[in-house]
Amino acid sequence: MNCFRLALTLLLAAGTAMAQTPASAPAGNASPTRPSATKSFDLSAIDKTADPCTDFYQYACGNWMKSNPIPSDQTRWVRSFSTVAERNRYLLWQELDAAAKDPKTPLEKQYGDFYAACMNTDLVEQKGITPLDPALKHIADLSDPHQIGQLIGELAATGAPSSLFYFGVGQDDKDSTKQIAQIAQGGLSLPDRDYYLVDNPHFAEIRKQYVDHVTKMFTLAGDTPDQAAKEAAMVMDIEIALAKASMSRTDLRNPDNTYHIFTVDDFEKLAPDFDFGVYFKDVRIRHFDSLEVATPDFFKALNGLIASMPLNSWKSYLRWHVIHGTASDLPKAFFDENFAFFGKTLAGQKEPQPRWKQCTSMTDRALGEAVGQDWVKQNFPPAAKASMDKLVAALEKALGDDIRTLPWMSDETKKAAEEKLAMFRNKIGYPEHWRSYAALRVERGDLIGNVERSSVFERDWDLDHLGKPVDEKEWGMTPPTVNAYYDPSMNDINFPAGILQPPFFDFKIDPAVNFGGIGVVIGHEMTHGFDDQGSKYDGKGNLREWQTADDRKAFTERTDCEANEYSGFEAAPAHDNVPAQNLNGKLTLGENTADNGGLRIAYMALLDTLAAEGKSIDEKIDGYTEAQRYFIGFAQVWCQNQTEQEGRQRALTDQHSPGHWRVDGTVQNFDEFGKAFGCTKSQPMYPVKSCRVW
């Protein structure tokens, strides 16, 4: 996997699903209650007053949306993901709570203590911000901007939040057998560079609120209001300068823009005023001669800033990132102020999640493969894996058939595509070998210490990959995660145990609903191997063109059609002085392509499966044909409500479209939908012209 580029996921980014998915239990600190399972096919969710041929999402989800407001501790509530994630988290919580009270094994003691340290808010209050003293003192002692490299290295070595860039080890994009050092831009606090740069009243207001927030946090840390306001302005100056030097998310998606191999010497010449030599020593990476630099211009600009920004600005900036990076682990006053801006103002969340949810997610992030071992024993029966193997095989066959019958692709390229497909690997459920956490010291009375040691432990683990053979069995998500991903360098599709349950995957339901649920999920991940980004990699995971020039041109015409189509979809409405915001069709292109491909090939796999069982797609259950149940099952995965703020933020940062367009965007590109619902050609969901890539 590449260290800075996000894996191609079903939802959100890899590894963050547990952290960010919403919750259903009562907010505040009410005791946890077990969420009930979500039905795979829900007649009561359907809005029969809506016309499926005009707005299928409204038809399949309308009643659900009306009767499922966003819980107060959430910014988004998705019928499938959120409810399953809440259930998984609850089951994980039971395990953690029991381990914290009465651990039976050394592993239980380790994660039980980690969870308990997070839950001990009395101790957190007692300690105040003293756990940050060493880092803050270190920053206060900085006397020369040329020592910033060393300082950031030393902060990183202790696990204190440091900023400015991402550094890690990943597969060389052009030689996937090699694991090399990789470095990329970073250092911003707001969700995207647009928040710093777009010139309109909406973003101007957010910038003002952000500076106020930084001021308040500095005040809480002990500064006078005047001093705090000055520092906040300096933080903003540096972050705006970094934002200007940053590549856009859309450009970052294209691996051709980010593949730059530098010798260490040449890289150091890009930013001579930042002592990378010392930084690399501080983070204890083994010696290396060359590295992949995703964003050379950013590092050039960073170098200019080191010389041009005053020393005090740098100190304020670094100090801010230490406080900001630990804000949710600090006493309530810091936590609340952090929530007020990042939760309420930016995302529209009414209340923070109860502590047990936060601590469960935090433990899953830090010790995922430790807690996951016990979790899968309880929650993932071996029979589930066998059924998944069968479904994946059915989808692989359907994608092969799809490739062979594509009207626009030459035989030569079809052959290459089939070769790539034949080389797909799939991983289902959980790792064959579990990571050892023996080297991670956990102390029951030291929340921030645990978080810092965990961050060092994770980096050591990551950097230790340098120069070693690639381990195909490693996972990028923890077992209870409700998500899935495709990794272009590995050319593998990955389905954690967390997603392999209703409403995605249900032993007891008719095949149409299963293919509309987990079938489309599998098809989605497979199509990622052939979207605008994934298609640049061959079957061995190397960035190499395998399409003929004519086919690449035809491919790009088709992806352009989808990019334009989705750019026409509104993500958030205009109101007051806030302009309407449309989706960014280029940012979401890979995901939209995967959604469209997934819907088509899962349908083909369903037809095959029904034919093999001697059943017809027109057979009715509950008044709906199997074809209709397939599309409704698919749509009901995506029923959702989200705050307007969340919608706006995601339109800039999320590579996935919101549920409404994941449903209406795909069905209107697939004629089988219009036929299944008896629509008339030229109705919105059955248009005369539509887009198709795969």
Give residues in contact with Zn ion (CB under 5 A): 8, 591, 594
Q: How far apart are CA 164 and CA 564, in angstroms?
A: 34
Q: Least CB distance from residue 598 to Zn ion, whole Å?
A: 9
Q: Least CB distance from residue 531 to Zn ion, whole Å?
A: 8
Centre a 10 Å sphere on the Cβ of residue 144 and count the other Cβ atoms it contains: 9
> Tokens representing 505?
């995957």
Q: Least CB distance from residue 485 to Zn ion, whole Å?
A: 7
What separation in angstroms does the CA of 496 have from each of 46, 78, 492? 29, 19, 13
Tokens 């499926």 belong to which residue? 52
Instruction: Check residue 541 and report its DSSP letter.
Output: S
Q: How far apart are CA 561 and CA 163, in angstroms?
A: 38
Q: Least CB distance from residue 84 to Zn ion, whole Å?
A: 17
Angle at 632 between CA 534 and CA 85, to 5 degrees: 65
Q: Least CB distance from residue 412 to Zn ion, whole Å?
A: 28
Question: With contact defined as beta carbons under 8 Å apart, do 248 and 294 qualify?
Answer: no
Task: Look at residues 689, 687, 673 and name the one whose alpha carbon lies nearest to residue 52.
Answer: 673
Of residues 73 and 591, the one with the C-beta less far from Zn ion: 591
Instruction: Check residue 72 and report its DSSP letter.
Output: T
Of residues 145 and 658, the one with the C-beta less far from Zn ion: 658
For CA atoms 344, 350, 353, 355, give the dihedral sign. positive
Q: Least CB distance from residue 537 to Zn ion, whole Å?
A: 15
Q: How far apart are CA 483 and CA 28, in angstroms?
A: 27
Q: Least CB distance from residue 494 to Zn ion, whole Å?
A: 11
Of residues 55 and 591, the one with the C-beta less far from Zn ion: 591
What separation in angstroms does the CA of 223 have from each of 218, 343, 651? 6, 24, 36
For 271, residues 6+ apart whose C-beta sits below 8 A from its C-beta are 299, 300, 302, 303, 306
Q: How far apart are CA 192 and CA 249, in angstroms?
A: 8
Q: Least CB distance from residue 530 to Zn ion, whole Å?
A: 12
> Tokens representing 571?
């993500």
Of residues 524 and 648, the one with the C-beta less far from Zn ion: 524
Of residues 518 and 594, the one with the C-beta less far from Zn ion: 594
Of residues 8 and 691, the one with the C-beta less far from Zn ion: 8
Angle at 430 between CA 425 and CA 435, to 5 degrees: 105
What phi, psi does 617 have (nearest 5°)? -70, -15
Q: Least CB distance from residue 685 to Zn ion, whole Å?
A: 23
Largest Cα separation within the chain, whole Å, is 78
Q: Least CB distance from residue 10 to Zn ion, whole Å?
A: 5
Angle at 349 between CA 93 and CA 196, to 5 degrees: 120
Q: Least CB distance from residue 21 to Zn ion, whole Å?
A: 16
Of residues 354 and 590, the one with the C-beta less far from Zn ion: 590
Q: Least CB distance from residue 486 to Zn ion, whole Å?
A: 7
Of residues 442 and 490, the one with the C-beta less far from Zn ion: 490
Q: Judging by beta carbons within 10 Å of its beta carbon (0-12, 13-18, 19+), is residue 402 exposed, middle or buried?
A: buried
Q: Strand 290-293 to strand 175-185: parallel, antiparallel, or no bridges (unpaired)? A: parallel
Distance from chain centroid for Cα 12: 3
Q: Which helix (DSSP H) or strand (DSSP E) does residue 342 occupy?
A: none
Of residues 588 and 645, the one with the C-beta less far from Zn ion: 588
Of residues 292 and 654, the one with the C-beta less far from Zn ion: 654
Q: Which residues pair with 171 in a beta bridge?
A: 179
> Tokens representing 653?
């940062």
Of residues 8 and 18, the one with the C-beta less far from Zn ion: 8
Task: Look at residues 558, 542, 534, 547 and name the one whose alpha carbon lies nearest to residue 655.
Answer: 534
Of residues 326 and 666, the one with the C-beta less far from Zn ion: 666
Task: Look at residues 655, 691, 629 and name the one whose alpha carbon lies nearest to residue 10.
Answer: 655
